[in-house]
């Protein structure tokens, strides 16, 4: 009697397990079909305005011999549900105190930098994204060899990623400049942290 009861229980458990696996496969197939349909029909009923997004970031820092103000608006376009491209003009004002080693006097150098960047983002999931960006900056700076202000142009190529809870609103981004040159960059190191917003 115990063997019959054990056999019936085993058949019941195995049957339910097989049915559950089959249902899971059906749900996975259905989910894949829904995702494919969403990808195929993405944006077909939307106007180009519905695919636009806006935002930006800013930075204000002060130190004993250093201050910076940065503003960087962004305008972007969603090419697909996961892939975005955009433009981000940039303005930086920085002021730094230097020491003239010939005279021993301190002097302050102020820099106004203007530039523009092109970026692309890939949404890994609704909160995490990969980011790549080219940025060109034009600014005047002090040349120790000539003792005069000279005009400079720098290139930056940022790669990294970010976190945006809920897919919009505030974002946090960490980027690394592959073209960083300490002699020509306005930044003190190649790692850039940004906190901004998107709507």
Closest to 131 (Cα-Cα) out of 40, 57, 43 = 57
Q: Choose the CATH number for 48-198 among 2.40.160, 2.60.120, 3.30.2420, 1.10.3470.
A: 2.40.160
Q: Which two tokens stand for residue 65?
A: 């011999």
pLDDT at 131: 97
Report pTM: 0.70
Q: Which has the higher per-residue pLDDT, 8 or 114?
A: 114
Domain extents in the chain: 1-41, 48-198
Residue 191's closest CA among 154, 153, 160?
160
The answer to whether residues 190 and 177 touch, using CB atoms and an 8 Å cutoff, is: yes
> Is 21's pLDDT higher than 70?
no
pLDDT digits (tens, 9 = 90+) for 158-177: 999 999 987 678 999 999 99
Backbone dihedral angles phi then psi of residue 109, each to the nearest 5 degrees: -115, 125
Which structure tokens are listed for 10? 């085993």
Read off φ and ψ for residue 111, nearest 5 degrees: -125, 130
């Amino acid at each position: 009697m115990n063997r019959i009861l054990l056999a019936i229980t085993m058949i019941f458990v195995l049957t339910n397990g097989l049915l559950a696996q089959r249902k899971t496969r059906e749900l996975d197939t259905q989910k894949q079909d829904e995702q494919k349909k969403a990808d195929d029909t993405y944006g077909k009923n939307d106007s180009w305005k519905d695919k636009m997004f806006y935002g930006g970031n800013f930075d204000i820092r002060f130190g004993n011999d250093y201050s910076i103000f940065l503003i960087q608006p962004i305008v972007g376009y969603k090419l697909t549900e996961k892939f975005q491209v955009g433009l981000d003009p940039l303005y930086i004002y920085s002021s730094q105190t230097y020491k003239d080693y010939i005279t021993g006097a301190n002097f302050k150098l102020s820099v106004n930098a203007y530039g523009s960047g092109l970026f692309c983002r890939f949404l890994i999931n609704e909160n995490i994204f990969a980011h790549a960006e080219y940025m060109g900056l034009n600014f005047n700076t002090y040349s120790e060899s000539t003792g005069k202000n000279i005009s400079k142009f720098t290139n930056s190529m940022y790669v990294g990623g970010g976190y945006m809870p809920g897919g919009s609103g505030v974002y946090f981004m960490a980027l690394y400049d592959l073209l960083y040159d300490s002699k020509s960059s306005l930044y003190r190191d190649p790692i850039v942290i940004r906190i901004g917003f998107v709507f």
